[in-house]
């Protein structure tokens, strides 16, 4: 029975995908959207069932469906594992997924390819579930690549626009760079332990006789995979570009779920990373730098979705910082709270964009507070949450990260704190520019300003509520999440007692957030500052505005040489190689034409050569004697 339910949980979105891809065009848009949403809701409900079951008996649920890949030293089956970690992920993936599906029914209603949108979204949820529930790394890899594919399809959803397609392609390829790392990591693990099953790797690692250098390499490779998927330095540049996709996609894939797959994977393999402190240090440093760099870029962006995208990268960096410090629960906690408020922010920005008929530039917004009150209030709550204001969800999770960082390394703590202050600043900058003061768009837009329909606002409200209370799952004191995840993690967690130091740190974090807010308030409300036009930006801010020219740097360093090499191969080396082959023919031809000259029909010459030849033979025979 459980097997069937688990299968239903997995396949329900897939059924939705099949329905929408084959029949979506024939049925009305409403039905198409409803079926898409319903299939995800089914998965959500089943996740709750399994969650309840697990809470009761505490036993993870594992089944093997069928044999899959078989190589010389091990055999892999297609297995499902529902334990604490995967169920936690399932809950918020399918939960937020359902909300975003619901939201999309209204948001995408005017698009002629709405059934395809739902098909892709369903496919994404299916692959995300596969990623989460697999009982070995290879099944995770199916989901891993599958979500990459869906991300590609959805970023390039408006396929008539070639820059969007470029962004989609970039996302896919950047992800594939990470995937190669993942693949190599799997190979090393498979070679070391002859298995890819989590439980078996765990017990093999625990026995502790593996080569630690190779283990470190494997962990590093897996982390490269995580970098690709979770947009960490140096592979983060695809995520801001991915905002080309429809806003619900950005909310679902590029904020709440897919990008957290890297964190899921590292948490899943925590027993491996725990044994490789060097790699953990790398993870922490990369996370911290990513958080800082992305936050600083976010300071000056003018596209509302780009700000949120860089904010996502920055928050993901904080999560990796926590992972690198071995505080897996804290990272997971932040993943969950982040999913709530970031999804809410994206959906809210979608609502704004919807209201303005596609305008994304914040310089042309402003004063929307009155026209869109629900959107404003929900986004405000989420902004407070992400800025880390007491008692919203983000405060608790971010604060824990900062505390852990303080406990390990003061430098990391300072970097993370600066990133948090920047976060507070640019988020409030976003809010002020969008909702406060007077409207800066065209008269016509102003005329049409309206609050979004119910289907859009209901998910917003739900998510805002979650952004308020989400912190409750792991309040200092109760630590429910910590206890819940204990079976999955190698228990070495230092318990926080709420001492003076902790309260001081909380206070510092709160003060930092408030400084950011005040700063933003001073600049954008008091002075009424509106960001300049692109051409007028100069100096260091221009560098930041252009994202430190990282894209240009990559183009210069990788894409251009590759294309140049390709051109060189195509226009020079290929013909040259061809000529070498033809060379044999040419040589034969040359010998032939020289020989032809000898065969010139001159009888005198023939006679001469003939006689000389005989003489030569006789002489040779004589000498050879």
Partner 1 sequence: MIENILNIIGIENYIFLTVLLFCIGVFGVLYRRNAIIVFMSIEIMLNAVNLLFVAFSTYHQDAEGQVFVFFSMAVAAAEVAVGLAILVSVFRNLGSIDIDNLKNLKG
Partner 2 sequence: MDVTTLLILLLIGAVATLVSGDKLASKVALLFSLVAFGLSINLLLQFNQGTDIGFVSNWIANPKVALALKADGLSMAMVLLTTALTPLIILSSFGNSFNNSKNFYALVLFMAFAMVGTFLAADGLLYYIFWELALIPIYFIALIWGNGDVEERKKAVVKFFIYTLAGSLFMLVGFAYLYSKAGSFLLEDLYKLELSNQEQFWIFFAFFLAYAIKIPIIPFHTWQAKVYQKAPTVGTMLLSGIMLKMGLYSVIRWQLPIAPDAAKEYMPILIGLSIAGVIYGSIVALRQKDLKKLLAYSSLAHVGLIAAGCYTLTADGLNGAVYQMIAHGFVIVGLFFAAEVIFRRFETRKIDELGGIRSQASGFTSMFMILVLASVALPGTYNFVGEFTVLYSLSQVNIWFAVIGGTTIILGAYYMLKMFQNVMLGETNTKVFKDVNVSEAIVFVVIIGFLLFFGLYPKPINDLVNPAIKEILAVINR
Partner 3 sequence: MSPVLITFYFLAAFTLATAFLTIYSKNPIHSAIYLVLCMVSIMGHYLLLNAQFVAIVQLIVYAGAIMVLMLFTIMLMNLNKEDEVHKPRITRLGAIVVFILMSMVLITIFINSKTIMGEYDSTGEDFQSIKVLGKVLLNEYMVPFEFASILLLVAMIGTVLLTKKEKDQK
Using the minimum distance from each CB to partner 3, give the nearer residue, 52 or 611. Answer: 611
Binding-residue pattern over the window 333 to 372 for partner 2, x denoting contact by CB under 8 A: ----------------------------------------
- Give the tokens for residue 15: 């059924």
Contact between 80 and partner 2 by CB under 8 A: the answer reads no
**What number of chain residues touch partner 2 (CB under 8 A)?**
51
The stretch near partner 2 (CB under 8 A) out of 51-59, 180-188, 247-255, 417-425 is 180-188
Contact between 606 and partner 1 by CB under 8 A: the answer reads yes
Contact between 45 and partner 2 by CB under 8 A: the answer reads no
The stretch near partner 2 (CB under 8 A) out of 151-159, 303-311, 349-357, 609-617 is 151-159
CA separation for the pair 139, 82 (Å, rounded): 13
- Give the tokens for residue 281: 């240090």
The stretch near partner 1 (CB under 8 A) out of 88-96, 162-170, 176-184, 611-619 is 611-619
Q: In whole angstroms, how close is the CB of 619 to partner 1 at the nearest point? A: 12
Contact between 28 and partner 2 by CB under 8 A: the answer reads no
Q: In whole angstroms, how close is the CB of 625 to partner 1 at the nearest point? A: 17
CA separation for the pair 545, 540 (Å, rounded): 8
DSSP state of 136: B
CA separation for the pair 224, 181 (Å, rounded): 5
The stretch near partner 1 (CB under 8 A) out of 73-81, 127-135, 575-583, 599-607 is 599-607
Among 169, 364, 437, 440, binds partner 2 (CB under 8 A): 169
Q: In whole angstroms, how close is the CB of 123 to partner 2 at the nearest point? A: 11
Contact between 180 and partner 2 by CB under 8 A: the answer reads yes
CA separation for the pair 506, 529 (Å, rounded): 31
Query: Does residue 391 have a cis bond before it (omega within 30 degrees)?
Result: yes
**Residue 553 partner contact from partner 3, partner 1, partner 2, none using kind-dependent CB cut-offs of 5 to 8 Å:** none
CA separation for the pair 343, 191 (Å, rounded): 40
Alpha helix locations (H) across 208-327?
Answer: 212-229, 238-241, 247-251, 261-268, 270-274, 277-298, 304-324
Q: In whole angstroms, how close is the CB of 136 to partner 2 at the nearest point? A: 12
- CA 431 from chain centre, in angstroms, equals 25
Contact between 200 and partner 2 by CB under 8 A: the answer reads no
**Residue 22 partner contact from partner 2, partner 1, partner 3, none using kind-dependent CB cut-offs of 5 to 8 Å:** none
C-beta atoms surrounding 614 within 10 Å? 10
Contact between 600 and partner 1 by CB under 8 A: the answer reads yes
**Residue 618 partner contact from partner 3, partner 1, partner 2, none using kind-dependent CB cut-offs of 5 to 8 Å:** partner 3
Contact between 26 and partner 2 by CB under 8 A: the answer reads no
**Residue 601 partner contact from partner 1, partner 2, partner 3, none using kind-dependent CB cut-offs of 5 to 8 Å:** partner 1
Token pair 């971010």 is at which residue? 398
Nearest to 69 by CA among 173, 187, 165: 187
DSSP state of 572: I
Contact residues for partner 3, defined by CB under 8 A: 608, 611-612, 615, 618-619, 622
CA separation for the pair 305, 251 (Å, rounded): 10
CA separation for the pair 477, 495 (Å, rounded): 10
**Residue 69 partner contact from partner 1, partner 3, partner 2, none using kind-dependent CB cut-offs of 5 to 8 Å:** partner 2
The stretch near partner 2 (CB under 8 A) out of 62-70, 235-243, 314-322, 414-422 is 62-70
CA-CA-CA-CA dihedral for 150, 151, 157, 163, to nearest 10: -140
**Residue 619 partner contact from partner 1, partner 2, partner 3, none using kind-dependent CB cut-offs of 5 to 8 Å:** partner 3
Does residue 247 contact residue 107 with C-beta atoms inside 8 Å?
Answer: yes
Using the minimum distance from each CB to partner 3, give the nearer residue, 69 or 611. Answer: 611
Using the minimum distance from each CB to partner 1, give the nearer residue, 447 or 596. Answer: 596
CA separation for the pair 406, 581 (Å, rounded): 67
Contact between 556 and partner 1 by CB under 8 A: the answer reads no
**Residue 622 partner contact from partner 3, partner 2, partner 1, none using kind-dependent CB cut-offs of 5 to 8 Å:** partner 3
- Give the tokens for residue 501: 């130091």
Contact between 274 and partner 2 by CB under 8 A: the answer reads no
CA separation for the pair 222, 541 (Å, rounded): 35
Contact between 159 and partner 1 by CB under 8 A: the answer reads no
Binding-residue pattern over the window 434 to 453 for partner 1, x denoting contact by CB under 8 A: --------------------
Alpha helix locations (H) across 486-602?
Answer: 500-520, 539-545, 550-554, 560-568, 574-598
Q: In whole angstroms, how close is the CB of 606 to partner 3 at the nearest point? A: 13
Nearest to 310 by CA among 368, 386, 394: 386
How distant, in Å, are the alpha carbons of 38, 412, 484 from that of 44?
10, 37, 19
Among 1, 71, 603, 621, binds partner 1 (CB under 8 A): 603
Q: In sequence order, what are the beta bridge partners of 82?
A: 61
Using the minimum distance from each CB to partner 1, give the nearer residue, 558 or 611. Answer: 611
The stretch near partner 2 (CB under 8 A) out of 168-176, 341-349, 395-403, 466-474 is 168-176
CA separation for the pair 286, 396 (Å, rounded): 23
Q: In sequence order, what are the beta bridge partners of 78?
A: 66
Q: In whole angstroms, how close is the CB of 585 to partner 1 at the nearest point? A: 22
Contact between 619 and partner 1 by CB under 8 A: the answer reads no
Contact between 572 and partner 2 by CB under 8 A: the answer reads no
Q: Which residues contact 408 (CB under 8 A, 6 or more apart)?
A: 284, 325
Footprint of partner 1 on this chain (CB under 8 A)? Answer: 599-608, 611-612, 615
């Amino acid at each position: 029975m459980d097997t069937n339910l688990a299968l239903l949980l997995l396949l329900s979105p897939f059924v939705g995908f099949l329905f929408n891809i084959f029949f979506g065009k024939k049925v009305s848009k409403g039905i198409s959207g409803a079926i898409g949403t319903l299939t995800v809701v089914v998965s959500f409900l089943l996740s709750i069932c399994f969650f309840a079951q697990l809470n009761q008996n505490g036993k993870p649920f594992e089944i093997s469906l069928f044999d899959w890949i078989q190589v010389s030293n091990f055999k892999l089956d297609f297995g499902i594992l529902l334990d604490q970690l995967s169920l936690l992920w399932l809950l918020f993936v399918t939960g937020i997924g359902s909300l975003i599906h619901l939201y999309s029914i209204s948001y995408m209603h005017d698009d002629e390819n709405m059934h395809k949108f739902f098909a892709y979204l369903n496919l994404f949820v299916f692959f995300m579930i596969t990623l989460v529930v697999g009982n070995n790394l290879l099944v995770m890899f199916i989901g891993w690549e599958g979500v990459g594919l869906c991300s590609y399809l959805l970023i390039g959803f408006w396929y008539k626009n070639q820059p969007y397609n470029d962004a989609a392609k970039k996302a896919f390829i950047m992800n594939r760079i990470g995937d190669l790392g993942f693949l190599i990591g799997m190979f090393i693990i498979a070679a070391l332990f002859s298995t890819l099953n989590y439980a078996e790797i765990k017990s093999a690692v625990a026995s502790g006789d593996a080569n630690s250098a190779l283990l470190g390499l494997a962990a590093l490779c897996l982390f490269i995979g995580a970098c690709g998927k979770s947009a960490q330095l140096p592979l983060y540049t695809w995520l801001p570009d991915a905002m080309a996709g429809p806003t619900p996609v950005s909310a679902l894939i590029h904020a709440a779920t897919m990008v957290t797959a890297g964190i899921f994977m590292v948490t899943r393999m925590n027993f491996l990373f725990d044994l490789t402190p060097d790699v953990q240090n790398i993870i922490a440093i990369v996370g911290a730098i990513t958080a800082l760099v992305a936050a600083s870029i976010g300071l000056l962006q003018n596209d509302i979705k780009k700000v949120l995208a860089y904010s996502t990268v920055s928050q993901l960096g904080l999560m990796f910082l926590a992972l690198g410090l071995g505080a897996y629960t804290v990272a997971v906690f932040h993943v969950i709270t982040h999913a709530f408020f970031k999804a809410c922010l994206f959906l809210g920005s979608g609502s704004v964009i919807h209201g303005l008929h596609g305008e994304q530039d914040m310089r042309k917004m402003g004063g929307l507070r009155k026209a869109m009150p629900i959107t404003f209030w929900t986004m405000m709550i989420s902004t407070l949450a992400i800025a880390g204001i007491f008692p919203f969800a983000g405060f608790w999770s971010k604060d824990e990260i900062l505390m852990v960082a303080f406990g390990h390394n003061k430098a990391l703590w300072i970097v993370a704190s600066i990133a948090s202050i920047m976060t507070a600043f640019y988020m409030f900058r976003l809010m002020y520019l969008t909702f406060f003061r007077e409207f800066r768009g065209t008269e016509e837009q102003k005329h049409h300003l309206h609050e979004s329909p119910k289907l859009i606002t209901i998910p917003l409200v739900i998510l805002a509520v979650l952004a308020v209370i989400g912190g409750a799952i792991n309040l200092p004191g109760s630590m429910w999440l910590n206890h819940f995840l204990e079976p999955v993690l190698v228990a070495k967690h230092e318990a926080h007692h709420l001492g003076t130091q902790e309260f001081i740190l909380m206070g510092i974090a709160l003060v930092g957030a408030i400084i950011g807010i005040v700063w933003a308030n001073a600049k954008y409300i008091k002075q009424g500052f509106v960001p300049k036009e692109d051409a007028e930006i100069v100096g260091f801010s221009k560098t930041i505005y252009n994202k430190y020219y990282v894209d240009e740097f990559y183009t210069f360093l990788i894409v251009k040489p590759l294309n140049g090499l390709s051109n060189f191969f195509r226009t020079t080396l290929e013909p040259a190689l061809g000529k070498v082959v033809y060379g044999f023919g040419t040589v034969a031809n040359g010998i032939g034409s020289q020989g032809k000259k000898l065969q010139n029909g001159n009888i005198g010459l023939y006679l001469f050569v003939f006689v000389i030849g005989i003489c030569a033979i006789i002489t040779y025979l004589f000498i050879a004697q």
